[in-house]
């Protein structure tokens, strides 16, 4: 009788011991105190000599262009129809709304919406254009699945629908309500290191990407997969980053098999252009495995 | 005799077990330490092709290095450190940090652990022991986003904004008011929140740098040029600009009298105008609904929860793909790569389960309750409408920055404020035919 009772009692501590104290969080690494103190010693003293670090050396004088065409070697499959459950009297009324994150041209196999940009350039040829770009939405879809602009260039955010949209650009101050049929102007003022999402919280299926760059050395591949970036500084090594929304690479970087360009898995390659050169990378084959579901 | 023996024998180990458990307690008491942002740390440590070290080892190495760098820059929860470039007041931080105690002149120390830590967590990650039981979850300061402030949407709050939230609390949530604390203590706590936020953002910047610039086995630089100029300064500059980033407040137009109830006849035209904007150009109706009960849109997330939702979806999708991959047809190198990636994905699932709270949707506010989290003064409502609510889906009806154009003119926003003030007292969604009906008249 007593032994039963004690056996039951014994269960208590066993249960507590098994369950542990508090929620199960994975173990996180901790700091190495001695190393931290050594680093700190280097942080609190003022720098002894002004080391001229930094900007890419400006060596060349001329200008050059880069172009190429992305071709998808995999099977794109049918685009998924999106769930449209708001404002259905307007949204998806004229045509069904599909997932636009992978657009492959049926005949040429060209891969659209690949972003190519220069990570750092020492010189810029053209002043910031003053003509506004239009970022439009209609049928409760963003008309440009990937949109790029240069800092300081005005962007007219337009709503061509008879219902209100709020256009919410991640990583910026812009989340503004745009009433039916109206336009508001946004001037991008901070540079992005990678494309960011644009969403409409009223219509949650709406999603596009934007990227704003200070130097404007950025291009998005067209429906046939082609892109070109003009007026690049010649005579200096330029590191290009290539990105696609559905890429399986780190941070959306699109890694290709191009040993001649040393194209790495992060989707980057370095190239030095000669003055007045129009460098054509030719057909850039994107294998099916580079694009995720 | 046999009877007694049989009851004593099992009793002994049981007593021993209890004694041992009580004596050992739950874990050893160690000095408090900051916890890494494990979701970000794991996310940005995705294995790379051709990685020679085992993934678990290098990700562990990188994380330890981040922890060490952060300790060098910011100290520990017991001994916070403010580099001169951080703009933080170290004496205030010392008052707020550390275990709860009194100093030599009897002044209370360890305020954060006395008042805040059980919800906001030692690292300011909004994951204190009580966090999982609260709705909404306590704020995670590390992404550096704050909702209730007087500045432009993406600007930092001013010191005054943080103090205001501490003094008022956040009605409708678990955040209490600390107005009964001496002002110096509230001041120290606001500074400590800023410290945790700057530290959290610096940590994020380190991961981003590592992800974008470093190869798998490369170490983060530890020079002053890098840690202070490249990592710390951009974050600090945003905080320093807060005071100059306050939104303009338009003059209250004629016909709006906040001294009188919104239901007063003097406010009637303004309330009607506000209602037209609520239903029309303001677009409020889209989420808050025609009835303003907050029933328009109910399946969206705030930025903190959305980040977890998105990453969870990605990991789940990648795990599915990974399981279906034809490993039999792979070359040995590809198979090793595949295994490393699977290892990473499984580690990620563990982190998401243990180091993140289960994501919750954010329903639009029911405006008929008269509960306004950011404050009930007309000025508070004006600010929420003007910039929207940073980190939440709520968009602004004012311009997105100086010189911009809003969907509603600045002065007109006051009419929407007036209409919102009337909502808790309005009967059946319509103003009465003869006079506005107030709640007390219904009974």
**pLDDT (tens digit per residue) in A209-254:** 999 999 999 999 999 999 999 999 999 999 999 999 999 888 889 9
Quick check: A28 and B38 CB within 8 A?
Answer: yes
Quick check: A39 and B222 CB within 8 A?
Answer: yes
Provide the token pair at B65.
């290095």
Any A CB within 8 A of B102 CB: no
Among the ranges given (B2-16, B81-95, B292-306, B384-398), the one the predictor scored with the smallest mean pLDDT: B2-16
pLDDT average, residue stretch B371-389? 96
Res. A91: pLDDT tops 70: yes
Any A CB within 8 A of B179 CB: no
Q: Residue A85 domain-assigned?
A: yes
DSSP string, A134-151: EEEEETTEES-SEEEEET
DSSP string, B295-315: -S------HHHHHHHHHHHHH
Q: Give the tens place of pLDDT for each residue, B55-96.
A: 888 899 999 999 999 999 999 999 999 999 999 999 999 999
* Identity of the highest mean pLDDT range in A25-34, A70-79, B233-242: B233-242
Which residues of A are less than 8 Å from B223 in CB distance? 42
Q: Token match 């992404």: residue?
A: B143
Q: Give the tens place of pLDDT for each residue, A120-135.
A: 999 999 999 999 999 9
- The torsion angles phi and psi of B26, rounded to 5 degrees, stand at -95, 90
Q: Residue A33 domain-assigned?
A: no
Res. A100: pLDDT tops 60: yes
Q: Give the tens place of pLDDT for each residue, A16-41.
A: 555 555 446 778 888 999 999 999 99
pLDDT average, residue stretch A136-145? 95
Any B CB within 8 A of A7 CB: yes
Q: What confidence tier does B247 reach under pLDDT thresholds 50, 70, 90?
A: very high
Q: Which of A 23-52 lie inside 8 A of B, CB atoms?
A: 23-26, 28-33, 35-40, 42-45, 47, 51
Res. B2: pLDDT tops 80: no
User: What pLDDT sits at residue A25?
Assistant: 76
User: What pLDDT sits at residue B325?
Assistant: 85
Number of domains in chain A: 1
Q: pTM of the entire structure?
A: 0.86
pLDDT average, residue stretch B287-301? 84
User: What pLDDT sits at residue B33?
Assistant: 93
Domain that holds residue A109: 63-290
Query: Which chain B residue's Cα is nearest to A24?
Result: B354
Instruction: Please check whether residue B407 is in contact with residue A184, taking contact to mean a CB–CB distance below 8 angstroms.
Output: yes
Give dist(CA B55, CA B348) in Å, integer.
12
Share of chain B above pLDDT 70, in %: 90
User: What pLDDT sits at residue B411?
Assistant: 96
Among the ranges given (A113-117, B20-24, B319-323), the one the predictor scored with the smallest mean pLDDT: B20-24
Q: Residue A15 domain-assigned?
A: no
User: What pLDDT sits at residue A5?
Assistant: 64
User: What pLDDT sits at residue A210?
Assistant: 97
User: What pLDDT sits at residue B429?
Assistant: 45
Q: How many CB atoms lie within 10 A of CB A212?
A: 26
Which residues of A are less than 8 Å from B208 in CB distance? 193
Residue ranges of the domains in chain B?
A: 38-244, 265-300+363-442, 303-354
Q: Residue A34 domain-assigned?
A: no
Closest CA of chain A from B353, distance in Å? 8
Which residues of B are less than 8 Å from A86 in CB distance? 297
Is beta strand A278-286 parallel, antiparallel or unpaired with respect to A63-72?
A: parallel
Any B CB within 8 A of A202 CB: yes
Any A CB within 8 A of B73 CB: yes
Residue B233, judged by CB atoms within 10 A of its CB (0-12, 13-18, 19+), counts as middle
Q: Residue A185 domain-assigned?
A: yes
**Kind plus residue range of the DSSP H or E element containing A284:** strand A278-286
Query: Which chain B residue's Cα is nearest to A8?
Result: B14
- Name the nearest CA neighbour of A183 among B404, B178, B425, B253: B404
User: What pLDDT sits at residue A212?
Assistant: 96
Q: Give the tens place of pLDDT for each residue, B354-374.
A: 999 999 999 999 999 999 999
Instruction: Please check whether residue A198 is in contact with residue A167, taking contact to mean a CB–CB distance below 8 angstroms.
Output: yes
Res. B50: pLDDT tops 80: no
- What CATH number does the domain containing A139 carry? 2.60.40.420
CA B408 from centre of chain: 29
Quick check: B46 and A33 CB within 8 A?
Answer: no
Residue B86, judged by CB atoms within 10 A of its CB (0-12, 13-18, 19+), counts as buried
Any A CB within 8 A of B300 CB: yes
Q: Taking the domain B265-300+363-442, which CATH number applies?
A: 1.10.760.10
- The torsion angles phi and psi of A276, rounded to 5 degrees, stand at 65, 10
User: What pLDDT sits at residue A121?
Assistant: 92
Any B CB within 8 A of A179 CB: yes
Quick check: B223 and A185 CB within 8 A?
Answer: no
Res. B428: pLDDT tops 80: no
User: What pLDDT sits at residue B333?
Assistant: 85
């Amino acid at each position: 009788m007593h032994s039963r009772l004690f056996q039951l009692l014994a269960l208590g501590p066993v249960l507590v011991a098994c369950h542990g104290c508090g929620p199960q969080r994975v173990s996180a690494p901790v700091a190495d105190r001695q190393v931290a103190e050594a680093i700190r010693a280097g942080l609190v003293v003022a720098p002894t000599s002004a080391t001229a670090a930094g900007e890419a050396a400006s060596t060349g004088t001329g200008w050059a262009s880069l172009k190429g065409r992305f071709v998808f070697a995999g099977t794109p499959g049918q685009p998924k129809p999106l769930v449209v459950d708001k404002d259905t009297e307007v949204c998806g009324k004229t045509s069904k709304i599909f997932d636009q994150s992978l657009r492959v041209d049926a005949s040429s196999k060209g891969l659209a919406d690949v972003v190519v940009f220069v990570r750092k350039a020492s010189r810029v040829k053209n002043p910031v254009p003053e003509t506004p770009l239009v970022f439009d939405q209609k049928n409760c879809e963003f008309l440009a699945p990937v949109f790029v602009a240069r800092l300081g260039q005005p962007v007219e955010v337009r709503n061509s629908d008879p219902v209100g949209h709020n256009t919410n650009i991640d990583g910026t101050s812009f989340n503004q309500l745009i009433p039916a049929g109206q336009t508001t102007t946004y001037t991008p003022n901070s540079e992005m290191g990678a494309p960011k999402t644009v969403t409409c919280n009223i219509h949650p299926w709406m999603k596009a990407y934007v990227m704003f760059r200070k130097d404007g050395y950025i291009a998005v591949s067209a429906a046939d997969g082609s892109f070109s970036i003009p007026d690049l500084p010649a005579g200096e090594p330029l590191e290009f980053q290539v990105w696609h929304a559905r890429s399986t690479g780190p941070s959306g970087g699109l890694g290709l098999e191009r040993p001649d360009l040393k194209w790495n898995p992060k989707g980057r390659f370095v190239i030095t252009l000669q003055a007045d050169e129009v460098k054509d990378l030719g057909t850039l084959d994107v294998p099916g495995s580079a694009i995720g579901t | 005799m046999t009877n007694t023996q049989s009851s004593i024998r099992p009793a002994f180990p049981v007593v021993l077990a209890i004694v041992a458990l009580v004596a050992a307690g739950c874990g050893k008491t160690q000095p408090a330490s900051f916890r890494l942002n494990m979701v970000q740390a794991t996310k940005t440590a995705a294995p790379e092709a051709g990685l020679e070290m085992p993934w678990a080892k290098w990700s562990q190495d990188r994380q330890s290095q981040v922890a060490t760098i952060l300790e060098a820059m910011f100290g520990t929860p017991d001994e916070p450190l403010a580099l001169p470039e951080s703009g933080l007041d170290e004496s205030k931080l010392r008052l707020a940090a550390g275990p709860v105690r009194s100093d030599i002149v009897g002044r209370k120390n360890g305020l954060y652990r006395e008042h805040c830590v059980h919800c906001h967590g030692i690292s300011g990650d909004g994951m204190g022991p009580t966090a999982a039981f609260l709705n909404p979850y306590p704020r995670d300061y590390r992404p550096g986003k704050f909702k209730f402030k007087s500045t432009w949407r993406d600007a930092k709050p001013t010191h005054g904004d943080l103090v205001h939230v501490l003094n008022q609390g956040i009605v409708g949530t678990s955040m209490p008011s600390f107005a009964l604390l001496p002002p110096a203590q509230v001041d120290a706590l606001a500074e400590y929140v800023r410290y945790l936020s700057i530290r959290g953002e610096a940590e994020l910047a380190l991961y981003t740098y590592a992800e974008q610039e470093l190869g798998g086995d490369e170490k983060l630089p530890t020079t002053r040029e890098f840690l202070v100029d490249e990592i710390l300064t951009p974050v600090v500059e945003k905080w320093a600009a807060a005071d100059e980033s306050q939104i303009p407040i338009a003059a209250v137009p004629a016909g709006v009298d906040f001294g009188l109830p919104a239901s007063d006849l003097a406010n009637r035209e303004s309330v009607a105008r506000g209602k037209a904007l609520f239903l029309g150009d303001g677009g409020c109706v889209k989420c808050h609904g025609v009835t303003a009960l907050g029933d328009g849109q109910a399946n969206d997330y705030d930025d903190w929860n959305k980040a977890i939702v998105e990453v969870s979806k990605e990991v789940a999708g990648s795990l599915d793909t990974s399981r279906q991959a034809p490993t039999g047809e792979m070359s040995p190198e590809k198979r090793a790569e595949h295994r490393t990636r699977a290892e990473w994905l499984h580690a990620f699932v563990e982190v998401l389960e243990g180091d993140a709270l289960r994501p919750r949707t954010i329903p639009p506010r029911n405006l008929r309750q008269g509960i306004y989290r950011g404050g009930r003064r007309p000025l508070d409502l004006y600010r929420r409408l003007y910039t929207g609510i940073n980190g939440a889906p709520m968009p602004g009806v004012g311009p997105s920055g100086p010189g911009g154009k809003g969907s509603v003119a600045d002065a007109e926003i006051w009419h929407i404020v007036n209409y919102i003030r009337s909502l808790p007292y309005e009967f059946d969604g319509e103003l009465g035919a003869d006079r506005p009906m107030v709640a007390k008249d219904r009974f």
